[in-house]
């Protein structure tokens, strides 16, 4: 099978130019039973690719103890079955408005600022983690024996916003290659000089992240990379929410106009997010507020709806239909219709109750009665707790 590659000006499959129309969908924010439905929604919107982060701390709760890393492989298989390519962003740091940016607490606690550096102890942990994680990626690369969906893998994540250690980035790239990743690698950073300088790596595709002003953003990227495909790896079509703040909403027409500008530049795009999902089990992170992100940490809410074109419940929004109109001319054929909606949690439901039990029988199953005696504290040897007394 013809492999995926980075050409001089465009992405290519078997030497033929292709445009990536991708959407972010995090497998860990969507119930596995709903993956197929959500991936079909991406296809219906006009996308040919899905992108996901991988949260290290979710899968390695203690050093060397792994928990369902195979979920990534199952998700990639589901993407392949849906007819989508896949972009994997394994970090090790992912941000993603996820707890600790995906880095395990047992790692950043002892290491502190040595995380995300060339520090030997830190890289030894990364090496162990990648050795396990990439078993789910390497056999599923595009152009392999089984014709898998994975076409690109990211090195770190927006590292230019954090540091500029080229040795560290090169070590990560070499580690990915050493574990068998042969599809193109890439970096993604904001379209600013210091970010692209600090976060990119010679010989590795550089992409940009922004929510508007595509021509200006790509102009900055071109100043650093005169050749290579243009891609907005994170087109911020919505935003996340903090506790106590209003839900952030972006007008559908405004977002569609920004998406159209990206495509008119001849670029590929990854919608961040296409479908946000939910931060289950308290995994939502926190972000610094303020114009320069130098304010206090503000916790993110449980919902990761992100005002995405596919909402938290998997339903198409007005933004979905506007994006579909913009993307349709770039599709290889007629777009499929969205799949029927799945039942929404909390929807009215009926249940048959063919049997009943008298109250006495129920009480017998619950055991003997328990009682306490309300009182007033008779002396200083008692502590008054409001309704009941306890000794001390």
Q: State how far the Cα of 306 lies from the Cα of 241, in Å rounded to an integer.
A: 7
- Decide the pairing of beta strands 205-210 and 286-288: unpaired
Is 234 considered catalytic here? yes
61: helix, strand or coil: coil
DSSP 18-41: E--EEEEE-GGGS-GGGHHHHHHH
Q: State how far the Cα of 187 lies from the Cα of 89, in Å rounded to an integer.
A: 9
Q: Please pick, among 97, 234, 261, 312, the residue that the annotation labels catalytic.
A: 234
7, 16 contact by CB (below 8 A): no
SS (H, E, C) 262-313: HHHCCCEEEEEEEECCECHHHCECEEECCCCCCCCEEEECCECCCCCCECCC
Is 298 considered catalytic here? no
326: helix, strand or coil: helix
φ, ψ dihedrals at 48, nearest 5°: -120, 10
Q: Please pick, among 10, 99, 156, 158, the residue that the annotation labels catalytic.
A: 158
Asked whether the CA dihedral 138, 143, 147, 148 is positive or negative, the reply is positive
Q: State how far the Cα of 274 lies from the Cα of 324, in Å rounded to an integer.
A: 12
> Could you tell me which residues are beta bridge partners of residue 178?
none
Q: Name the residues annotated as catalytic.
A: 158, 234
């Amino acid at each position: 099978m013809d492999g995926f590659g980075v050409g001089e000006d465009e992405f290519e499959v078997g030497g033929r130019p292709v445009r990536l129309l991708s959407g972010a969908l995090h497998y860990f924010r969507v119930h596995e039973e709903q993956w197929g439905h959500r991936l079909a929604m991406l296809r219906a919107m006009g996308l040919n690719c899905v992108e996901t982060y991988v949260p290290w701390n979710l899968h390695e709760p203690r050093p060397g103890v792994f928990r369902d890393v195979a979920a990534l492989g199952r998700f990639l298989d589901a993407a392949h079955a849906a007819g989508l390519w896949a972009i994997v962003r394994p970090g090790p740091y992912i941000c993603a408005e996820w707890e600790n940016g995906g880095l395990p607490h047992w790692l950043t606690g002892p290491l502190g600022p040595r995380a995300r550096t060339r520090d030997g102890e830190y890289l030894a942990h990364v090496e162990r983690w990648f050795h396990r994680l990439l078993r789910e990626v390497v056999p599923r690369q595009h152009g392999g024996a089984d014709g898998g969906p994975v076409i690109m893998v990211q090195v770190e994540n927006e590292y230019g916003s954090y540091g500029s250690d080229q040795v560290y980035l090169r070590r990560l790239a070499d580690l990915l290659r050493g574990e068998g990743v042969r599809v193109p690698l890439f970096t993604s950073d904001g379209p600013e000089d210091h970010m692209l300088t600090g976060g990119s790596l010679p010989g590795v595709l550089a992409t940009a992240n922004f929510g508007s002003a595509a021509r200006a953003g790509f102009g900055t990227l071109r100043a650093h990379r005169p050749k290579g495909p243009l891609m907005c790896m994170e087109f911020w079509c919505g935003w996340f929410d903090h506790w106590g703040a209003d839900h952030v909403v972006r007008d559908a027409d405004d977002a569609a106009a920004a998406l159209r500008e990206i495509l008119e530049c001849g670029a590929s795009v990854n919608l961040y997010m296409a479908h946000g999902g939910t931060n289950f089990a308290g995994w939502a992170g926190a972000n610094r507020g303020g114009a320069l992100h130098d304010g206090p940490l503000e916790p993110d809410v449980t919902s990761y709806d992100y005002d995405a074109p596919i909402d938290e419940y998997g339903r198409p929004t007005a933004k979905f239909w506007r994006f579909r109109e913009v993307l349709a001319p770039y599709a290889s054929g007629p777009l499929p219709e969205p799949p029927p909606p799945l039942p929404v949690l909390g929807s009215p439901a009926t249940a048959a109750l063919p049997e009943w039990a008298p109250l006495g029988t129920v009480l017998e199953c619950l055991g003997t009665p328990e009682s306490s005696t309300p009182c007033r504290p008779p002396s200083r040897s008692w502590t008054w707790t409001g309704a009941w007394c306890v000794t001390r």
